[in-house]
Amino acid sequence: MPASRPAWLPVFLAEAPMQFLTDLSAGFDAVFTLHAAGFVLLGTLLGIIVGATPGLSSGMAVAVLLPLTFTMDSLTGLVFLTSVYVAVTYGGAVTAIMLNTPGAPENAATALDGHALTRLGQSGRALGVAIAASALGGLLSYFVMLFGISSVASIALTFGPTEIFLIALSGVMILGAVGSGSPAKILASGMFGLLVGTIGIVPTGEWRATFGEPYLADGVQIVPVLIGMFVVAELLVLSHRETVVDAATEVNRSIGATVAGFREVLSHPVTLLRSSFLGMGVGLIPAAGATLAAFSSYTLARRLSREPERYGKGSIEGIVAAESANNACSGGALTVSLVLGVPGSVATAVILGALTMQGLQPGPMMVVQQPTLVYGLVIAAILSQPVMVLFAILAGSVMSRALTISTRVLVPFLLMLSIYGTFALRNATFDVWMTLGFGVLGYFMKRYGYSPAALVMGVILAKITDAELVRTMQIFGDDWYFAFFQRPISLAILAILTASLLRAGLGARRRRLPSDE
């Protein structure tokens, strides 16, 4: 009897190379149709434009465009959202470089050196470096995902209910450990999200916290939560401004300067590869996000650089490190989202919501049961990279004008689109009120230092944690709580979570000490 294949060995290198090639070919055929390819182009363009608008984060970009997918088939809708997700991070680099106003938090590290080059009159060069590093980091990440996702799925299939429960719970808890705000407030937000996500009829037939409302029988719908927290709450913040930014600067569209920036990225191959792999690794950590990837990579590159004194003053290497890492992070985040069903980032949380709306169940079996969809998404992400480069060069003036849009136009338009999208979900006014309610809640959460992203993570992960906890109790009986300490993987996850939370708590305490003295 032949030896079984190790879980870590990719399927395409082991027992089923023809099956892998068949699935890959089906993914290519699905994406390279006029219909699907057209939505890849549209999603990439919209992602760059929305990403270049400060205040409109990657999560908000995907959430506000989510209603457009309601009438699409599952593959087309998810390919469209994936293309938006891939492109939106680079879009944020444009304003980070030109205006020192990052389009999203993950672009803050890019602003340190990118805007310094703009002040030196070298904005075209900085934009060229940013788009090249973004595209190359993203390509590397998604090619690794293409050939490695089967291995991750094989390993995930060995997990029991205790491991899946802890991994899902870590999506909320790690966000508290690595988030920029108060760990206690982030954890409180996530735990509240877990409570909200458990509303509805439980498997035993009981109504849990529905207050007798029939619309809550199936639980709180994820679309009102996503759009309320990520779109309506942000629009309430934007409504206090006259324009998206105080002043716009014309983007330097010199193709010569941009091409020169491309060549400079290739002169830093070690930084590019190191930052890309670091970004992928961070992306595999549930909820860690591209911001952590960018700053971790930037800090490491500065520490290992031969010219650390140039960082913050226009270092090309600094831009390469930040942009390649935050875009490579998306591949890792999408992998863990599809294979484990745990959001790797805020934007992938929205994509997971879109998957569940289509009746699809993310998890290890998805690679086996829906290979065309999985490989189609990865191929669409790869295709988006060269398209992103082309649009980034040609659409500079459009992105520049996006910065000057009056909030009196932008806010009502996006609010109307959000309300329409929510109502179209079930033709229910109840969902509209839920969206507005979560929007107001998200606004006040942001104002008082709580985390809307953690709440959304909690809502999405609630059903997984609830189901796996019940399975653990059924399998292990009255001593179910000992099960978490009996398996090596469970112990390792518990150790990592404990260490992360202790470190976050100590860090928060150190930050408070100076103000206490």
Task: Name the more confident of 321 and 201.
Answer: 321
Evaluate if residue 276 carries a pLDDT over 70. yes
What pLDDT is recorded for position 178?
53
Distance CA 75, CA 28 (A): 12
pLDDT category at 300 given cuts 50, 70, 90 is confident
What pLDDT is recorded for position 444?
93
Residue 2 lies in a domain: no
Distance CA 127, CA 254 (A): 10
Residue 258 lies in a domain: yes
pLDDT tens-place string over residues 145-175: 888 887 777 777 777 788 878 877 877 776 6
Residue 411 lies in a domain: yes
Residue 96 lies in a domain: yes
SS3 content of the chain, % helix, strand, coil (to 5): 75, 0, 20
What pLDDT is recorded for position 179?
55
Q: How many percent of the chain have pLDDT more than 70?
A: 82
The DSSP string of 351-413 is HHHHHHHTT---STTHHHH-HHHHHHHHHHHHHHHHHHHHHHHH-HHHHHHHTT-BHHHHHHH
Residue 81 lies in a domain: yes
Distance CA 50, CA 84 (A): 9
Distance CA 84, CA 380 (A): 11
* Bridging pattern class, strands 207-208 and 200-201: antiparallel
What is the Cα Rg of the chain in Å?
A: 22
What pLDDT is recorded for position 399?
55
Residue 31 lies in a domain: yes
Distance CA 210, CA 397 (A): 50
Distance CA 103, CA 92 (A): 4
Residue 6 lies in a domain: no
Q: What is the pTM of this model?
A: 0.70
- Count other Cβ atoms within 10 Å, centred on residue 517: 4
pLDDT tens-place string over residues 112-128: 888 888 778 777 788 88
What pLDDT is recorded for position 436?
92
pLDDT tens-place string over residues 453-465: 788 878 877 887 8
What pLDDT is recorded for position 66?
83
Residue 121 lies in a domain: yes
What pLDDT is recorded for position 8?
46
Please count the structural domains in the chain: 1
SS3 for 42-93 is: HHHHHHHHHHCCCCCCHHHHHHHHHHHHCCCCHHHHHHHHHHHHHHHHHHHH
Evaluate if residue 191 carries a pLDDT over 80. yes
pLDDT tens-place string over residues 313-364: 888 899 999 999 988 888 888 888 888 777 777 778 788 888 887 778 887 7
In three-state secondary structure terms, 344 is: coil
Of 216-230, 379-393, 399-413, 429-443, the range with the lowest mean pLDDT is: 399-413
Task: Name the more confident of 100 and 169.
Answer: 169
Q: Which domain holds residue 406?
A: 11-508
Evaluate if residue 249 carries a pLDDT over 70. no
